[in-house]
Chain A
Amino acid sequence: MAINYNAKDEVDGGHGSNLVVGSHTGPGNAIGGSGPKSRRPDNTAFKQQRLPAWQPILTAGTVLPAFFIVGLIFIPIGIGVFVTSNNIREFEIDYTGTDEKDPCNKCLFWNDTKPCICEINFTLEQPFEGYVFMYYGLSNFYQNHRRYVKSRDDSQLNGDTDSLKNPSKECEPYRKDGDKPIAPCGAIANSMFNDTLELFQMNESSLIRVPLHKKGIAWWTDKNVKFRNPPGGNLSEVFKGTTKPLNWPKPVYELDEDPENNGFINEDFIVWMRTAALPTFRKLYRLIEKKGVLHPTLPVGQYLLRITYNYPVHTFDGRKRMILSTISWMGGKNPFLGIAYITVGSICFLLGVVLLVIHHKYGNRNNSADIPN
Chain B
Amino acid sequence: MFDNWVDNRTIYVGHKEPPPGAEAYIPQKYPDNRIVSSKYTFWNFIPKNLFEQFRRIANFYFLIIFLVQLIIDTPTSPVTSGLPLFFVIAVTAIKQGYEDWLRHKADNAMNQCPVHFIQHGKLVRKQSRNLRVGDVVMVNDGETFPCDLIFLSSSREDGTCYVTTASLDGESSHKTYYAVQETKGFQTEEEIDNLHATVECEQPQPDLYKFVGRIHVYQERNEPVVRSLGSENLLLRGASLKNTEKIFGVAIYTGMETKMALNYQSKSQKRSVVEKSMNVFLVVYLCILISKALINTILKYVWQSDPFRDEPWFNQKTESERQRNLFLKAFTDFLAFMVLFNYIIPVSMYVTVEMQKFLGSYFLTWDEDMFDEETGEGPLVNTSDLNEELGQVEYIFTDKTGTLTENNMEFIECCIEGNVYVPHVICNGQILPNSGGIDMIDSSPGVSGKEREELFFRALCLCHTVQVKDDVLVDGQKKSPDSSRSCIYISSSPDEVALVEGIQRLGFTYLRLKDNHMEILNRDNDIERYELLDTLSFDSVRRRMSVIVKSASGDIYLFCKGADSAIFPRVSEGKIDQVRSRVERNAVEGLRTLCVAYKKCTQEEYDEIHELLHSAKVALQEREKKLAEAYDQIETNLILLGATAVEDRLRKAYTMKPSESRHQGLGSDRRQDGNSNYLIQAFRRKPLWLTTKKIEEQSLMTSFELLKTSLRVLSKDEDLAFIFYVSCRLSNDLQDFGLIIDGAALSLIMKPRQTGSSGNYRELFLEICRNCSAVLCCRMAPLQKAQIVKLIKLSKEHPITLAIGDGANDVSMILEAHVGIGIIGKEGRQAARNSDYAIPKFKHLKKMILVHGHFYYIRISELVQYFFYKNVCFIFPQFLYQFFCGFSQQPLYDTAYLTLYNISFTSLPILMYSLMEQHVTSDMLKRDPSLYRDIAKNALLRWRVFLYWTFLGVFDALVFFFGAYLMLENTTVTINGQVFGNWTFGTLVFTVLVFTVTLKLALDTHYWTWINHFVIWGSLIFYIIFSLLWGGIIWPFLSYQRMYFVFIQMLSSGPAWLGIILLIIVSLLPDILKKVLCRQLWPTATERTQVKITFLLYNYWFYCCKIRV
Contact = CB atoms under 8 A, between A and B. Distances in A.
Nearest to B975: A329
Given A29-B480, A366-B1088, A2 B890 contact: no
Contacts of B485: 24
A312 B976 CA distance: 29
B144 A148 contact: no
Given A16-B828, A53-B1007, A216-B976, A316 B237 contact: no
B1053 A43 contact: no
Contact of A17 (B242, B885, B1011): B242
Interface in A1-15: 1-15
Interface stretch (B366-374, B589-597, B764-772): B366-374
A350 B530 CA distance: 98
Contacts of B1027: none
A158 B378 CA distance: 64
Nearest to A174: B316
B826 A18 contact: yes
A363 to B, nearest CB: 7
Interface stretch (A30-38, A104-112, A120-128, A248-256): A30-38
B167 A22 contact: no
Contact of A41 (B240, B371, B1054): B371
Contacts of A40: 368, 371, 376, 378
Contacts of A362: 1080-1081
Interface stretch (B414-422, B486-494, B545-553, B1017-1025): B486-494
Interface stretch (A57-65, A94-102, A196-204, A229-237): A57-65
Contacts of B1080: 59-60, 355, 358-359, 362-363, 366
B914 interface: no
Give the interface size class of chain B: 35 or more
Contact of A9 (B256, B469, B808, B1081): B808
Given A187-B314, A275-B981, A358-B1080, A337 B1062 contact: yes
Contacts, number: 425
B490 A191 contact: no
Interface stretch (B105-113, B433-441, B705-713, B752-760): B105-113
Contacts of A173: 316-319
B118 interface: no
B1090 A57 contact: yes
Contacts of A18: 164, 166, 172, 826-828
A336 B963 CA distance: 9
B982 interface: yes
A89 to B, nearest CB: 13
A370 interface: yes
A6 B363 CA distance: 27
Interface string B1026-1041: 0000000010001111
A261 to B, nearest CB: 16
A271 B489 CA distance: 98
Contacts of B97: none
Contacts of A16: 166-167, 827-829
Interface in A262-283: 271, 274-283
B238 interface: yes
Contact of B978 (A217, A226, A325, A348): A217
Contact of A1 (B266, B1010, B1073, B1090): B266
Interface stretch (A44-52, A177-185, A291-299, A300-308): A44-52
Q: A interface, how many residues as a size bin? A: 35 or more
A20 B266 contact: no
Contacts of A283: 979
Contact of A133 (B492, B494, B977, B980): B977
A7 B967 contact: no
A25 B478 contact: yes
Contact of A369 (B172, B497, B916, B1088): B1088
B465 interface: no
Interface in B1030-1084: 1034, 1038-1042, 1044-1045, 1049, 1053-1055, 1058-1059, 1062, 1065-1066, 1069, 1072-1073, 1075-1077, 1079-1081, 1083
A316 B309 contact: yes
B12 interface: no
B532 to A, nearest CB: 21
Contacts of B143: 14
Contacts of B1012: 53
A114 interface: no
A214 B397 CA distance: 83
Given A24-B504, A39-B376, A312-B313, A70 B981 contact: no
A289 interface: no
A5 B37 contact: yes
A186 B699 CA distance: 91
A226 B142 contact: no
A35 B376 contact: yes
B828 A331 contact: no
Interface in B964-978: 965-978
A47 B167 contact: no
B720 interface: no
Given A278-B970, A344-B1065, 6 more contacts: A40-B371, A41-B366, A48-B367, A56-B1008, A277-B981, A278-B965
Top 6 nearest A-B pairs (CB, nearest first) are: A35-B376, A13-B167, A7-B110, A14-B144, A191-B314, A277-B985
14 contacts: A3-B36, A7-B106, A7-B111, A9-B808, A18-B826, A20-B173, A20-B490, A274-B980, A277-B884, A277-B986, A282-B972, A330-B1054, A348-B1069, A358-B1081
Interface of A: 1-26, 29, 31, 33-37, 39-43, 47-49, 51-60, 63, 70, 74, 77, 81, 131, 133, 135, 137, 141-155, 158, 168, 170, 172-174, 187, 190-191, 216-219, 221-222, 225-226, 271, 274-284, 287, 312, 315-317, 325, 327, 329-334, 336-337, 340-341, 344, 347-348, 351, 355, 358-359, 362-363, 366-367, 369-370, 373
